[in-house]
Amino acid sequence: MKKKIINVCEPLISQSAKKYLNECIQTEWISSSGRFLDLFERKWAKYCDAKDGVAVSNGTSALQVAFKSLDLKPGDEVIMPSFTIISCAMAIIEAGGKPILVDCYSDNWCMNIDEVKKRISNKTKAILVVHMFGHPVEMDEILKLVKKNKLFLIEDAAEAHGATYKKKKVGSFGDLACFSFYANKLITTGEGGMVVSNNKKLTEKVRSLRNLAFRNDRRFYHTEIGYNYRLTNMQAAIGISQIENLKKHIKIKRTNTNFYNKILSEMSLPLRLPLEKNNVMSVYWMYGIIIKNKTFNARFLAAKLWEQGIETRPLFLGMHQQPIFKKMNLFKNEKYPVTEELAEYGLYLPSGLKLKKKDIIRVCKTVKKIFNEHKKK
């Protein structure tokens, strides 16, 4: 009998989402206007302790309009981690800036603050922090650097909905904060994103950019280039139901992580497991592990797990390792050892909101079996 596939992630959709979607269909408010859209922006901004929210089509577009709103000039530099998704560097480049990379810590995978300090120059205009895999960046030191050097601060909180640093929610620290609502996030709208902010001027700029930079005084009259990055009322309806259930989602993630950690720790495998630093609450977006003994890499482990019906995903390939950026002569000869180790020896195991304890046990037993079999060879 063929084993059931354990997917790497599955969303959890409530009955209220179906109710709200049905209202959209019945009232025929299915496009980029409607009561759910306005409500979603207000509710998510309030949850993040921000004054305003601007819903967009995805997390990448959130980053794009955020950096575009800063009016970066050629040569302006933005410090960011190499260990992240390509959307971050892409948004900076498309906005006219130059990404300046730093390595990350080996324990929580967030950007190395000492390296950030060394990379600040008279060309630096902003710092992009990425709250990695649900774990917040050490914000006190970042805020000191931003204030001292008069820099913009952008948060990428795409993986950290509801996470806190010293009891303050991520998304409330920066001039702008960007969220993704992709299907594997703690809040999903299928595809979607949002920029939240306490800066009225930047919020207005972001709101204009996401809607083709239409002017209020004259329709179809444009004085700058914008984008069609609007979210639909139907997606927002799902988003509201997700906010209503976020506390439950976070509890599931934390409970599953603790259960994974307990089992894998008892197995004494050569793995580095997720942790939570002092003064933070991680939401453990995905359960990531690192192979410590390096006798095989993450690709090998992923292939063996898939043979047993267990789906995984690799960790991010560093920005300095990306072929497209090498073609563009960016990050030439740059090395970031921790980022390179994570990309080669790290992956994340099934982490969905529908994951059951029996699934976690099966995953862990299969991981142990693969390590034991490899030892025998």
Residues 6+ apart with CB under 8 A from 83: 103, 104, 109, 111, 132, 315, 316, 318, 336, 338, 339, 342, 343
Does the domain spanning 246-376 belong to CATH 1.10.3720.10?
no
Q: Each residue of 249-298: pLDDT tens digit?
A: 999 999 999 999 999 999 999 999 999 999 999 999 999 999 998 889 99
CA angle at 330 for the pair 329 and 334, rounded to the nearest 5° = 115
The pTM of this model reads 0.97
- Cα separation values, 136 from 5, 99, 101, 262, Å: 32, 21, 18, 23
| Whether 137 contacts 111, CB under 8 Å | yes
Residue 186 and residue 250 in contact, taking contact as beta carbons nearer than 8 Å? yes
Q: What is the pLDDT of residues 147-180, one digit of tens each?
A: 999 999 999 999 999 999 999 999 999 999 999 9
Taking the domains of the chain in order of start, what are their residue ranges? 15-244, 246-376
Please report the pLDDT score of residue 376 as a whole number: 52
Q: Does domain 15-244 have CATH number 3.40.640.10?
A: yes
Model confidence pLDDT, tens digit, residues 186-210: 999 999 999 999 999 999 999 999 9
